[in-house]
Amino acid sequence: MTVRPQRARPGSAELQALVDELAETLGRSVAVDDPLVRMVCTSRHFGDEDPVRIGTLLQGRADNATVRYVLAQGVAQWSKPGFVDGRDDLGLLPRYVVPLRERGHLLGLLMVVVPDKALGEPETGTIVRAAALMAAQMYAEHLAADTRKAEERTLVLDLVDTDVATRTAARRRARELGLLGEAEHVLVTLVQLRRGTEPGRQSEAALWGALEGFRQTRSAQGVLAIDQERAILLQLRDRPPGPDEVAAQSGRVLDELATFLDPSAAPVIGVGGRHAGLRGAWTSYEQALVAARAARRLPSLRSVGDWDLLGELAVLLQLPEHALNTSLVPKPLRTLDEAHGGDRLRDTLRCFLEHAGSVPRTAEALRLHRTSLYYRLRQIQEITGLDLDDGAHRLTLHLGLRIEELLTPGDDVPA
């Protein structure tokens, strides 16, 4: 799958003119970045270019290490201009940074290269006046872009709505607007952030930055719905993507979010099932919700749940949140957990069941002599009161082990 470079929307001719005018007045290199430190407009060089600036011109954004460094200085929360120190290891010269805000919205970052960190009062005054003009221009462009995003968001939410009439009208609207083609397969990907960990605008910008490159690729055509802590990517494809392709796309999204957001945002991704036609979008979305829940509860999934790979967990995870607690664990398994050596016996039981009750394969996997394995299995049967030769008893224990995997601290039986 080919993905377009992750870069900001190019700045308008009006904004570019303001940037060029400021640069010529100062005799310094000037750039405007978006809130994710991706280039929007830049001036010509004035002999003060550094490797970061040159790399940004080639790639459309600084490398991830530089972006993380700049954002870590808190520039997205600054209320007034200030300096970001240079970093020799990053190839970054000091920059004077002015947050471009209008009516409470952070629209971008004005950056002026100042190698010696020495700016006179006339220069800072010129920069502040230019920044006000740039913010006003960007706000006008921001309003137009927000309108388009809002229309797209409404379309996506309607396409995955539970109401049949709403979905039908949305499909008709999508065809009329030419937003989605007639590809045969649909896939919905859900990205969720932990609540309240980042300023809302920064979270939205990060989600757009991480996902916008997947709206139009060589193999997919998509639309996005984003709010402060959630993003829904709906893609139409000529063929259903395989697990490796889904994993690669999800991995890229997580990498981008790790660059733009603090680790406390703890993003997870849920990928729905692959369905035929746009009619299946709502089903894929419902499955993506379950997959995201799996990603949150199962560390082994490394923050990505794929419905097609969840197996029986897909059924268990559709239980309501209040019902998913220790009361679902079968009593015989709870008795085993409480017994002396219960952890070792439970691990033995899990291995035995995952190897379809094969003693030779279980002994090999545990690096255990068969006599010792038979002894442990007898202990398990005595403690649980269940017969491991009975298929129904094995299913009870195996299902209980899978439920235990889903439980997190605090999932105790309600009082």
> From first to last of its 415 residues, what are the pLDDT tens digits of the chain?
433 334 445 668 999 999 999 999 999 999 999 999 999 999 999 999 999 999 998 887 889 999 999 999 999 999 899 999 999 999 999 999 999 998 888 999 999 999 999 999 999 999 999 999 999 999 888 887 778 888 889 999 999 999 999 999 999 988 887 766 666 899 999 999 998 766 667 888 899 989 999 988 888 888 999 987 899 999 998 888 999 999 999 999 999 999 999 899 999 999 999 998 889 999 999 999 999 999 999 999 999 999 999 988 999 998 888 888 888 899 999 999 899 888 999 999 999 999 999 999 999 999 999 999 999 999 999 999 999 999 999 999 999 999 998 887 656 654 4
Q: Contact, 117 vs 83, CB < 8 A?
A: yes
pTM for this prediction: 0.78
Q: Whole-angstrom Cα distance, residue 314 to residue 316? A: 6
Parts of the chain belonging to CATH 3.30.450.40 = 13-146
Query: How much is the pLDDT for 10?
Result: 61
Distance CA 235, CA 222 (A): 4
**Residue extent(s) of CATH 3.30.70.270 domains in the chain:** 160-316
- In the chain, which residues fall in CATH 1.10.10.2840? 322-406
What is the Cα gyration radius of the chain?
27
Beta strand pairing call for 30-33 and 105-113: antiparallel
The three-state (H, E, C) secondary structure of the chain, written as one string: CCCCCCCCCCCCHHHHHHHHHHHHHHCCCEEEECCCCEEEEECCCCCCCCHHHHHHHHHCECCHHHHHHHHHCCHHHCCCCEEECCEHHHCECCEEEEEEEECCEEEEEEEEECCCCCCCHHHHHHHHHHHHHHHHHHHHHHHHHHHHHHHHHHHHHHHCCCCHHHHHHHHHHHHHHCCCCCCCEEEEEEEECCCCCCCHHHHHHHHHHHHHHHCECCCEEEEEEECCCEEEEEEEECCCCCHHHHHHHHHHHHHHHHHHCCHHHCCEEEECCCEECHHHHHHHHHHHHHHHHHHHHCHHHCCEEEHHHCCCHHHHCCCCHHHCCHHHCCHHHHHHHHCCCHHHHHHHHHHHHHCCCCHHHHHHHHCCCHHHHHHHHHHHHHHHCCCCCCHHHHHHHHHHHHHHHHCCCCCCCCC
* pLDDT of res. 1: 41
- Nearby residues of 33 by Cβ (< 8 Å), 6 or more positions away: 8, 39, 40, 108, 109, 111
Q: Which pairing describes strands 185-192 and 82-84: parallel, antiparallel, or unpaired? A: unpaired
Q: Are strands 275-276 and 304-306 parallel, antiparallel or unpaired?
A: unpaired
Q: Quickly tell me which residue has 């000091």 as its tokens.
A: 94
Answer whether CATH 3.30.70.20 is correct for domain 160-316.
no
What was the pLDDT predicted at 8?
A: 46
Q: Which CATH architecture has domain 322-406?
A: Orthogonal Bundle (1.10)
- Please provide the size of the chain in residues: 415
CATH superfamily of the 13-146 domain: GAF domain (3.30.450.40)
Q: Is the CB of residue 376 less than 8 Å from the CB of residue 359?
A: no
Q: Say what the pLDDT of residue 274 is.
A: 94
Q: Distance of alpha carbon 322 from its chain centroid, rounded?
A: 26
Q: Which amino acid is at 53?
A: R
